[in-house]
Amino acid sequence: MRSNKKRIRIDYAPLNVAVSLECLTPLSPALQVFNADNNEYEPDREVTPSTFWPQVVANANDGSWPNQYANFILTQMHWYVDGIEISQHPDWTGQTSGGQALYTIDESGSSSRGALTIRKNVPPTKQYTLHFEGIITDPRLGTNIPIVTDDFILSTEDKSEDAYSISIGDDQIIQYNPFKDKLHLYDYKVAHGLIAASAAAEAAATDENAYLRTINIDVFKADTKLNSGFTIKLYRVNSATSFTEITAGTDEVISISNSAIVLDLRLVTKADYLIRAVLTDSNRPDPQLQFSVNRVYQNYDCRPTNGTSILPSDEQRYDVAMCDSEGQLVECPENILKIIWKTDSAYLANLEHNEGGHTVFSIAKTKIGKNFGDDWLDVYVETEIKEAHCDATDENGNDFTDENGNDLIFN
């Protein structure tokens, strides 16, 4: 007799998705300048179009999502101008003087899918607010995930006064990967007495992958770099129309100056920021620039290493977890991963022992048998990548600090 069928499924982790806007044409940005003396635009988008790309980054904590960049599976793609679908906006129909469309949307199957190329010059009296919307489908879970970018503004300044601009010495999409953070590993080893503190070792570990990220800032008037006449302010982007100013010492912001912003990326999962240079001696609009920080994950393999047999006289079992990722051994994996040690025996399955990079547990607790058919024990680990750090607080929301008054964080 055949029993009733019971269908079970693979338990996939949810897909984590981050989207950011990037200008792929730095020489043809969102801001133009109009030169009334020769009636020309700088740059002229009919000659050098502007391209804006909604970069979609996707990953799953269980490593089941193979492609970090997900633009190639975008569907139902729409660009909007001032809340109107671009093809329906009256200002965006027609052609350039050379007979080309005012805009095109990349519909290829490549990573640039969804990119908007603009050949329209914007008069100084106009400005347009644009954003992108689309869908990516997660075939593992059979779900559709909506994609919506932040707004950006197309505008043009009259060249009656030299234009101001701002730039950062970094990508506008900053990615933090804890697996590659040597400074985080150095801190962990020092804190656990594995190595002695060393200024030279700490400096060597503070590279482009370190959680301590210095974002250099340059403000220009035309082609002249400014050292004064402005104050740098940093804002968290809540929505297209909502911004919250962040000051030094708040959350992930370590310091803000007119030359650099320093962030602690351990505290960030996904965040969008706006840098604004508030001018003190000009009536021109304050130059500003957006950037984002995304926490990314890479695939890994973690497993027990003790393959020795259990002796009849043994009372405890010791084991150490080994982890590798992208062909490299991961040192101190408990620094990055939540590692839970478990055992199965003939009489007790899924027994949880402790968390960490190594374990010592009582053998009797596992209910292992003493005869040939039941004298076995499966030792294994269940792991996941730890989340971003957060402030340590008491039940009343008060921050815990060290002896020097620095806020404590944990994950």
Q: What is the pLDDT of residues 326-384, one digit of tens each?
A: 899 999 999 999 999 999 999 999 999 999 999 999 999 999 999 988 999 999 999 99
Query: Are residues 315 and 268 part of one domain?
Result: no
- Pick the closest to residue 255 from 209, 210, 212 (CA basis): 212
Whether residue 396 is contained in a domain is answered as no
Whether residue 401 is contained in a domain is answered as no
Whether residue 403 is contained in a domain is answered as no
Query: Are residues 274 and 168 part of one domain?
Result: yes
For residue 3, pLDDT over 60 is answered with: no
Query: Are residues 22 and 115 part of one domain?
Result: yes
Query: Are residues 314 and 278 part of one domain?
Result: no
**Are the CB atoms for 118 and 91 separated by under 8 Å?**
no
Q: Give 395 or 277, the one with higher predicted confidence.
A: 277
Q: Say what the pLDDT of residue 96 is.
A: 92
Query: Are residues 165 and 290 part of one domain?
Result: yes
Whether residue 48 is contained in a domain is answered as yes
Query: Are residues 351 and 334 part of one domain?
Result: yes
Q: Say what the pLDDT of residue 138 is.
A: 86
Helix ranges (H only) for 206-250 are: none
Query: Are residues 310 and 290 part of one domain?
Result: no
Task: Supply the CATH number for residue 201's domain.
Answer: 2.60.40.10
Domain hosting 307: range is 301-385
Q: Say what the pLDDT of residue 382 is.
A: 95
Q: Which one of 299, 325, 354 terminates a domain?
A: 299
pLDDT tens per residue, range 116-151: 999 999 998 789 999 999 999 888 888 899 999 999
For residue 7, pLDDT over 70 is answered with: no
Query: Are residues 184 and 272 part of one domain?
Result: yes
* Tally of domains within the chain: 3
Whether residue 351 is contained in a domain is answered as yes
Q: Say what the pLDDT of residue 391 is.
A: 74
Q: pLDDT tier at 9 (50, 70, 90 boundaries)?
A: low
Query: Are residues 330 and 222 part of one domain?
Result: no
Query: Are residues 25 and 121 part of one domain?
Result: yes
Whether residue 404 is contained in a domain is answered as no
Whether residue 111 is contained in a domain is answered as yes
Q: Which one of 232, 265, 299 terminates a domain?
A: 299
pLDDT tens per residue, range 189-235: 999 999 999 999 999 999 999 999 999 999 998 889 999 999 999 99
pTM given for the model = 0.63
Whether residue 380 is contained in a domain is answered as yes
Q: pLDDT tier at 275 (50, 70, 90 boundaries)?
A: very high
Helix ranges (H only) for 157-315 are: 182-191, 199-205
**Are the CB atoms for 64 and 13 separated by under 8 Å?**
yes
Query: Are residues 284 and 184 part of one domain?
Result: yes
Q: Say what the pLDDT of residue 63 is.
A: 80
E strands in 210-287 = 212-221, 224-226, 230-237, 243-246, 253-256, 260-264, 270-279
Query: Are residues 328 and 312 part of one domain?
Result: yes
Q: Which one of 237, 271, 299 terminates a domain?
A: 299
Mean pLDDT confidence for 278-284: 81
Q: pLDDT tier at 283 (50, 70, 90 boundaries)?
A: low
